[in-house]
Amino acid sequence: MILTSLTKYREIGLLLLRVGLGVIFILHGWPLLLEGGKEWIKLGSAMRFLHVDMFLKWFGLAAVISEVGGGALMILGCLFRPACLLLAFTMTVATIMHFHKHDDFDLHTSHSLSMAIVFYCLLLIGPGKYSVDKQ
């Protein structure tokens, strides 16, 4: 088999994936968190594509908190599966919004879709050995 010796680094790979994604989502969500109400309403308006037309500001805030808080929890591997579930839902809503808006697949939709797939997979895989949630 080709490169099978790398299997012994599986846990390190999972740690690097968690930390890398966590940092990216914190860096993406932090400025949105600081923007406040108007930005949260704009983000929450993605829920309209799921026929939810109320509490848009709070849904937007929830999305930003899932990015920042979920990113931090991913790094630590603490409450990992709930964090992955929130991030997967956030990315799924973003994907649906991009599809409905007919956004360019390569520029917009593929990122949120890819991240949704990653978070659903991580939900099943778990945080790995190097985490607070270690079993």
The pLDDT profile of the chain, 135 residues, written as one tens digit per residue, is 788 888 899 999 999 999 999 999 999 999 999 998 888 999 899 998 888 888 889 999 999 999 999 999 999 999 999 999 999 999 999 999 999 999 999 988 999 999 999 999 999 999 999 999 876
Q: Is 128 exposed, middle or buried (0-12, 13-18, 19+ CB in 10 A)?
A: buried
